[in-house]
A and B are shown apart, each in its own frame.
Chain A
Amino acid sequence: MVDLGARMRRRSFTQLLSGAALGLALALAPVAAAAQDVPRSETLILDSTLERIATPENYNPFLPTTTLQGGLHQVAFESLFYLNLETGELQPWQAESYAFNETFDEVTIKLRDGVKWSDGVPFTADDVVFTMNMLKDNSANLGNWGGNAKTWVKDIVAVDPLTVKITLTATNPSYVVNMFGARVYWTNQIVPKHIWEGQDPATFTNFDLAKGWPVSTSPFGLVSANNQETVWARRDNWWGAETGFARLPAPKRVIFTSAGNEERRTAMLINNELDTAYAIGKSSFETVHQRNPKVVTWFKEMPYAYTDAGPRIIGFNNAIPPFDNALVRRAVSQAVNRDAIVDVAWEGMSRPIKFPAPSLAALAPFFEGTEDLFAAHPNTEFDPKATEALMTEAGYSKGGDGFWADASGAKLVVDLVARQTEADSAKAAPVVAELLKRAGFDAQFRLVDSAGFADQVFQGKANIWLAQINGGVNNPYPSFDMFHSRHALPIGKSATGSYSRYANPEYDAIVEEMGRLAADDPQFKDVVRRALEIWLRDLPVAPTTDSALLASYNHTYWKNWPTSDNPYFQPCFWWASALVSIVAIEPAE
């Protein structure tokens, strides 16, 4: 069939095609280049981490639907403080300092003098008071910041134009860092009263390029926005430069673009179309680095990636059988070989964990002296024999088909739900299901999207799933608090926290005690130990691995990226804290 003639035809066809393509490319390319006004070397291109910027015309940071990481929470607004995970320091920004009273239920925040909104109006205590009251009054229609304001703010007053006093509803030594410190991913941004007053915060989009909206104190203003990218131009009259607080950022223009998936992310890094990219796999990075050596990551060698704040877990629905039984939870946990997950889902860049808190230097001291507890509860050790023993103890036996069944003969069905949009979950799900099958569980996995995951897990329909715990990074309290029983709403209602619906009054009391203590309180470590002891005994979820997101940084146009050699800040450009490093970045030449 394919004779010589066909082969020749094919060759000439290929030649024709590539010739035509080259011609077309040459004809069109210069035009495209001419259309750009700011040179590439003065443009900083960041990865929005998304397939698409879903709401490019919405700059209301408080709505649950708003896309934050398309530039909104990195450069559209600034934060009062930024938590630096590398130094452990809460870096003041729009604010200058804060001070608690002795009982940690009243905090006074001093604002920085000279901070100005982009329309020239001074940034004052009135803006902070207005924002917090607006959040509190509209909590039902706004996202988590509304709920947080309602939960914690009893009263807020402007003492003078640069001083705010917040009275809390209860003791909370972590209030400032948790709310205004850009801890982990996001922060409670302050909006300008003179723009937002009279607007309905539940529908206000804060978007009007002609009016210069969104008005903010940030060094960057929005120029254009659509599903593909958001473009921000430097505001040369930024308050930070005028007051000498910081130098004017080097990039004249910042673009958040949507690479979407690993294949395009990889290709765009090779072609210098991205200055920093969201997580890719180890081998993908190695390919990129080989073709474009200027692209580096946090570590020069394995494990390459910066440890992310959200460790991974196998979640259990503690409210209903079979996983209301701690023996079954431990049996499942010990049937899973964490090394296989590290290999398949993380390509060796991550490591097994024993408690759902990230392996960060700032957290390690809180767990010192608890080794004996972990030794007494080897929950995360891969041990099929232990699984057999625990299942037998729980009253299960293997049926004729080799699967665990309870006393009545009903098979224990394990349908593992995993979120498809989290690449490591999708990669880990087949591994966990396979390991459980080998251990005698009738296991399957199902990859679902966010709405399906919410439906299955939050509402309590699923009994086992893969997820992450976004707890503490500088203090373990938020991690422990995820398992407080106030999160365990009845099945059918949307649970919060760890979604595990774990409820134990004894544990609650200890966690509440921990919440009232400052992290440097001498009693703090003892409380952690007591909480940990119960947690390890009950094992409400099975910790699996750290999260290692390999983000890459391109030195072709920009330098002074945060790396392990130059660890001045966390290298996470999709977090609300990104502005600090965007301001610090310098031109490569």
Chain B
Amino acid sequence: MSTATPITRPRGHAVLRGLAELGSNVKLTSGLVLVLSLVALAVIGPLLVDTEMARPISAPTNRPPSPDYLLGTDGGGRDLLAVIIASTPQTLRLGLLAGLIGTVGGTFLGLVAGFFGGWLDRIISTATDVVLTIPPLAILLIVAASVRSVSVEMMAFIIAALAWMHPARSIRAQVLSLRERAYVEIARISGMGDLRIALFEVLPNLLPLIMSSFVAAVSGAILAALGLEALGFGPQDTPTLGMTVYWSLLYGAFGRNMWWWWAPPIVILAILFIGLFLISVGLDEAVNPRLRRQA
């Protein structure tokens, strides 16, 4: 344990300095460009392409890409360009919503459990361990049976309801360790309230972990949703990337060389995940100067 070092560190300055450097941060910028290009696709796309063509039997079936259908059509008579444009925002929404709920919920619970300990910790930890073993498919089936059709938002809530445990557990572990640090002790001795310590001393130290949790949660939520959708459970009547994968598998698109059917979802997801990754890396470097390359 180190107690001889300076006790409070100039975190605020680091953040400010980081903000000032955001513009010159290549990783952050390129990450933002990637993610924003997907947002742009979602916003501008519908102006250029009729998303009604994403509905079944709107186009001839099984056409390879051509000037008429730039990304070709699928076995159900959907124009795949329209499908991609209609489904990208749905998938983005699902990922962000589920990632946000999961991370915020998990962070809050992890912070409370780790910092306050005692019976709160015990309840939260018990809940974490219990929820962990619930198969997401079970919840989805239960929800699906009680509504007319599963929406993207419902899907996001279901995924999030079962995705907060990882952030909660790792944040709790980190807080347990931070709680005993010297600067927390000092803050406590200097009469700071528990809540203030948790919010102003502990939370900032968790930001990088939270940020990477968030990126992982968004990607994890999208892939979890895709996994369920690939098995045919999800918003079946809505065009999403996952349902596109489901239909392509149902028709055996891979075996019949219809690459234009299954490849676009991969491209969109790869752009999204790399973008999120770069944003997370860029933010870390902005916040934590130690990470910046030393000449």
Binary contact track A265-286/B, C-beta < 8 Å → 1, others 0: 0110000000000001101101
Interface of chain A residues 278 through 304 with chain B (CB within 8 A)? 280-281, 283-284, 286-288
In this assembly, does B255 line the interface, its C-beta being within 8 Å of a C-beta of chain A? yes
Which residues of B (59-106) have their CB < 8 Å from a CB of A? 61-62, 75-77
The answer on a CB contact under 8 Å between A445 and B236 is yes
Q: Are A266 and B149 in contact (CB under 8 A)?
A: no
* Interchain CB contact under 8 A, B232 and A447: yes
CB pair A431–B255 under 8 Å, yes or no, is no
Q: Which residue of A lies closest to B27 (CB)?
A: A1
Minimal Cβ-Cβ distance residue in B for A348:
B61
Q: Which of A420-471 contact B (CB under 8 A)?
A: 420, 423, 426-427, 430-431, 433-435, 444-447, 452
Least CB distance from A431 to B in Å reads: 5
Is A343 an interface residue when CB atoms closer than 8 A count as contact? yes
- Whether B62 lies near A283 (C-beta < 8 A) is yes
Kindly report which residue of chain B lies nearest to residue A290, judged by CB atoms: B257
Residue contact A343 to B237, C-beta cutoff 8 Å: no
Most A CB contacts (10 A, CB to CB) among B75, B77, B232, B251 go to B251
Question: Are B251 and A430 in contact, with the CB atoms below 8 A?
Answer: no
Q: Let me know if B76 and A431 touch, CB within 8 A.
A: yes
Task: Count A/B pairs, Cβ under 8 Å.
Answer: 80
Q: Are B257 and A343 in contact (CB under 8 A)?
A: no
A407 to chain B, nearest CB (A): 23
A383 at interface (Cβ–Cβ under 8 A)?
A: no
Query: Using Cβ atoms and an 8 Å threshold, which residues of chain A touch B149?
Result: 444, 446
Q: By CB atoms of chain A within 10 A, which of B77, B249, B252 has the most?
A: B252
Q: Are B252 and A1 in touch, CB under 8 angstroms?
A: no
Minimum C-beta distance from B46 to chain A (A): 19
Interchain CA distance A423-B148 in the complex, whole Å = 22
Residue of A267, A340, A413 near B57 (CB, 8 A) is: A340
Min Cβ gap B278→A in Å is 8
Q: Is the pair B236, A280 in contact by a Cβ cutoff of 8 Å? A: no
Pair A1/B256 contact, Cβ less than 8 Å: no
- Decide yes or no whether A381 CB sits under 8 A from chain B: no
Q: Which of chain A's residues 340-378 have a Cβ closer than 8 Å to chain B?
A: 340, 343-344, 347
- Whether the Cβ atoms of A284 and B256 lie closer than 8 Å is yes
Give A435 to B249 CA distance when docked, in angstroms. Answer: 24
Is A426 a contact partner of B75 (Cβ separation < 8 A)?
no
Q: Smallest distance from the beta carbon of B231 to chain A beta carbons, Å?
A: 9
Are A343 and B250 interface neighbours, CB within 8 A?
Answer: no
Of A267, A427, A431, A434, which is within 8 A of B250 by CB?
A: A427
| Contact pick for B255, options A287, A420, A427, CB 8 Å | A287
B56 A344 Cβ-Cβ under 8 A: yes
Q: Which chain B residues border A445 with CB–CB below 8 Å?
A: 236-237
Q: Which residues of B contact A267 (CB under 8 A)?
A: 255
In contact, B252 and A262 (Cβ under 8 angstroms)? yes
- Complex Cα distance A281/B61, Å? 13
A-B pairs with lowest CB-CB distance, top 5: A266-B255, A262-B252, A430-B56, A283-B256, A284-B252
Interface residues of B (CB under 8 A from A): 30, 55-57, 61-62, 75-77, 141, 144-145, 148-149, 232, 236-237, 249-252, 254-258
Binding site for B on A (CB under 8 A): 1, 261-263, 266-267, 280-281, 283-284, 286-288, 340, 343-344, 347, 413, 415, 420, 423, 426-427, 430-431, 433-435, 444-447, 452
